[in-house]
Structure 1
Amino acid sequence: MSLSNWFSVENWLQATPSSPASFFIIAGESFWAWSNGKVYSPMHGVTVSGKETRYSVLLFAMPKNERPIQAPVELVDDKHPPIFKPYYYDDYLRFCFSEEGMMQQCKLVAYCGTDATKEADA
């Protein structure tokens, strides 16, 4: 599926919990970059129907800015070139909240996508 289709609301899937004790885990963009695209960070939105109380908990892990985020050598080869350039998380956050970054549909691709990222969109 192309990147442009990933962000189309018409292609969103409904995730229905199988029980009241169900929960969902969504990988963040840093993990998408680190895994060289193997674990995708989806666009997501939440709508709640009914009158039952629902709870949401957000847990974040923020990488230290001492090391760049990049795919390990084990996940990169001739058939799987890096799809994101190495980047520092703090610099990426500044881009996300910049005027240019706010206009981007996929901030990570705009900030550090490579030719391989663009090929995935073809």
Structure 2
Amino acid sequence: MGIQDIIEGKKQWRAHMARVKALPPDYQIVYKEIQRYMFKVGPVDSADGPLLSGILDFFEEGVSADRGVLELIGDDVAAFCDDLIKDSRTHADLYQQSIGEKPGTAEK
């Protein structure tokens, strides 16, 4: 990864976060909880990729339809997240796999 890739990635992330800040406060709170959950437990392949962008698109559509955030996702943020990543390999899966192996045989 070169310096240009890092700079471009930062630009994209800042633009993404600017979109988040444009959401109503209740949407921002829920988005940040989803983001925190995804970074902790979420899919290995796309912690900052299309999943979070898709959620942001979904939230922006909800705002334009004048719907509350809990109408869109329900009362349980973790259950909503778990449903999104149910078929993905997660950080939790990697951890469980690593503690289940014999010492010195962990994946590298």
TM-score by length of 1: 0.23
Give the structure with the larger helix fraction. Answer: 2
TM-score by length of 2: 0.25
- Answer 1 or 2: higher relative contact order, Cα 8 Å, separation at least 6: 2
